[in-house]
Structure formats: structure tokens, C-alpha cells
Amino acid sequence: MKLAIITVTLQNKEFMQWLTDEKFDLAFAHMYHTCPIGLVHAAKIPSWIWLNRMVVNKETQIFREHWDPEFPDIMDLMKKCPLVMVNSNELYELPRPTLAKVINIGGIGVEYEDAKPLEGEFKKIAETGKGIIVMSFGSVAHAELMPEHWKTAFLNAFAQFPEYEFVIRYASDDLKDRLPPNVHAHRWLPQADLLLHPNTKVFISHGGYNSLQESINSGVPLVTIALFGDQFKNSKIAAKHGFAVNLKKGTLDEASIVAALREVLDNENYSLNAKRLSLMVRKKPVSPTHLLVKWTEFLAEFQTLDNLTPAGNNLNFFQYFSLDVIGALLLAIFVVVYIVYKLLALIVLRCCYRYKKEKSE
């Protein structure tokens, strides 16, 4: 699919001519695909930023077939990337070694602002009972597609908390006659406003990265059921910072859901940890928006940032994996073992010779 997109793009001469004629100062390329890197080079855009190793040999081949037979290897172009902007935040990501060219802009898509007033039924729900619990599995994992035993487990578990109102994003009518009185299913939710409402107590989520950031933004603790991809890591991050309980999808049942909700609702540390991290992110000395704008302006002015390029970019395969060093060490060990072996053999030989000589005398 990706290779077909590259081919169609390069065959669109009108688009490629426009891309070149515009003489852009800077381009953003998403890390999911290396095609934009080739387009940046083809359009002679002087600099680019990577936003957040794939099989690139075929992509290089397509550029050489449809654009220029001498087109450089995309892997070599990737190494020249002056900046990489990643959707993460040092305050809650797992600590790790990184490079100076990596800029963390996590949270830039989440607005840290006061909630808009809830209206209609949502306002009525928020003002009822001890609090509201929001459940949403994002735009990719649809709650209506979950297994039937999960649906039953959630509904039975929610019914055990009659003092709380549950608002769930659910784009189907199959639960219409089964919903407990305190459960409200909607095809769409004003999710940000609900999470930022002071009466919201828990956010039940699949653990997507956006959900993680929304939870931190609102200071609402999580109950996560990771389904695939990075959701397992995101859930562990939230649990590590003490504002989430993780449930395993393989053992999900009514009892585990009830236990997780009681743990978060009855232990105020989850809420306190969520609010503390939220405040830290809000008061971070330099905001992700500021980093994005200033670094983009800086790169547009200077175009290249060789100062930030690590020496490892120019190492060959053997040097990068220290195979030359490992080889030298193995050779040294072999030589030492060989010398020791020869010395021991010589000593044994001399001892045997002396023993035979004494015996013959």
C-alpha cells in the first residue's frame, strides 16, 4: 500500500512540480512512513523535521525508477535528519538515553484549559450522585465490537456502583434494553469537557497515548485495558506514576472490573498522583507548543544542525556494533588461552620426561 502511494505521488508530475516550485524552507515528515523524506530531497527542500527502520530499499528503488536513477539511498537521507520531534514528555515517559536532536512535544494536541460547561443530558448526569466515571476506547477500538462477555461484565460491574454515573462512548443500540439506570451510552461524548469536570472520578480507557495525555491533562486516574500496540507500555507508564490500575484483557471479568474501580475510588492516592502530575505538566518551564515553534523557526533559519549529529551516524556496520572491538578481544582471549595451553602442555611433557628418566635410572 505504501509503495503504491509513493508510485502514484511521483507519477503526479503536476503535484511534484508544485512541490518544487513552492520552494519551501522546511518540511515535516511523519515517522510512520519514509516516503516524505524522499519527497523532501526530490523537491530540494533545504531542511526537514521528523515527527515521531522500515523497509526502505523498495522505496529507494521506486524513487530511482520514477524520479532520478541517481537518487540517494533513503537510509542515507534519514541519517541527515536535523531534528526529531516525538510525541512524549520527560515528566511521565520512561527514562531513557536519547540524543540532543530529539525534541519532546508530548501533549501538544491536548489543550490545557478550563472545561466548557456541560449542556443538556451531560450536565444533568454530572450533577447526579457522588461522581461520574467516563469510559471510552478511542476512535480505533470501538466499544461496540468488544466480546459479548466483556459487555456483560462491564454492565454488571457498573451496576454495583449505583452511587456513581457511568458515561460510555458506544456507537450501537444493542445495549439499549440492558443498561443499568446509572449507565448512559452515547455515540459521541464531549470527552475533554467530561474529563475536566470536577465531578469526574475515573477514566476507563484502552490505554492509547492520547488517552494517557488526556488523563494527565485532566488529573483523572485511569483504569486501563490495553488491547494492542503501545497501549501496554502506556498503561504501565500510568501505573508506574501511581494513577492507574491495569487490567489484562485475557482475564477481564466482572470481578476484576469491580476490584479495579473500588481500588481507584477508595484509595485517594490515585487521584492525588494524577492531579500532581497534571500540575507538573501544566507548569513545565517550557511548553511543547513553545518548543515546536521555536525549534522550527531556529531550523528554518539555519537549515542544518550538524552540531547535533552524533558520530555514530558515520560508523559502518562493523564499527556500529563494535564487531571490530569484539573481534580483537576474542583474538586476544584466543592467544592467551593458546599460550596457556602450550605452557601447560610443555610442563606436562617435561614432567613426564623427567619421570621416565628417573624410572629408567
In tens digits, the chain (361 residues) has pLDDT values of 556 666 777 778 888 888 888 888 877 766 556 667 778 778 888 876 655 544 455 677 777 777 878 887 777 777 777 888 888 888 888 888 888 888 888 877 666 566 688 888 898 888 888 899 999 987 777 888 888 999 999 999 999 999 999 999 988 888 888 899 999 999 898 888 899 999 999 999 998 888 898 999 999 999 999 988 889 999 999 999 999 999 998 899 999 999 999 999 999 999 999 999 999 998 889 888 889 889 989 988 888 888 888 877 777 777 878 888 999 999 999 999 999 998 998 888 877 766 565 556 5
The CATH 3.40.50.2000 portion of the chain extends over: 120-282
Residue 99: exposure state from Cβ atoms within 10 A (0-12, 13-18, ≥19): exposed
SS3 content of the chain, % helix, strand, coil (to 5): 50, 10, 35
Q: Could you give the CA distance from residue 304 to residue 258 in angstroms, rounded to a whole number?
A: 55
pLDDT of residue 1: 53
pLDDT of residue 53: 46
Helix axes 13-21, 35-42, angle to 10 degrees: 60
Give every CB contact of residue 225 below 8 A, 6+ residues apart in sequence.
204, 205, 206, 207, 247, 248, 249, 252
pLDDT of residue 237: 93
Q: Could you give the CA distance from residue 155 to residue 179 in angstroms, rounded to a whole number?
A: 7
pLDDT of residue 157: 94
In terms of Cα–Cα distance, which of 204, 206, 201 is closest to 223? 204
pLDDT of residue 248: 93
Q: Could you give the CA distance from residue 73 to residue 57 in angstroms, rounded to a whole number?
A: 8
Q: Could you give the CA distance from residue 108 to residue 287 in angstroms, rounded to a whole number?
A: 8
Q: From residue 128, how far is each of 183, 211, 258 by CA, in Å? A: 12, 25, 21
pLDDT of residue 50: 58
Hey, which CATH number is domain 120-282, 3.90.1150.10, 3.40.50.10800, 3.40.50.2000, 3.40.50.261?
3.40.50.2000
pLDDT of residue 136: 92
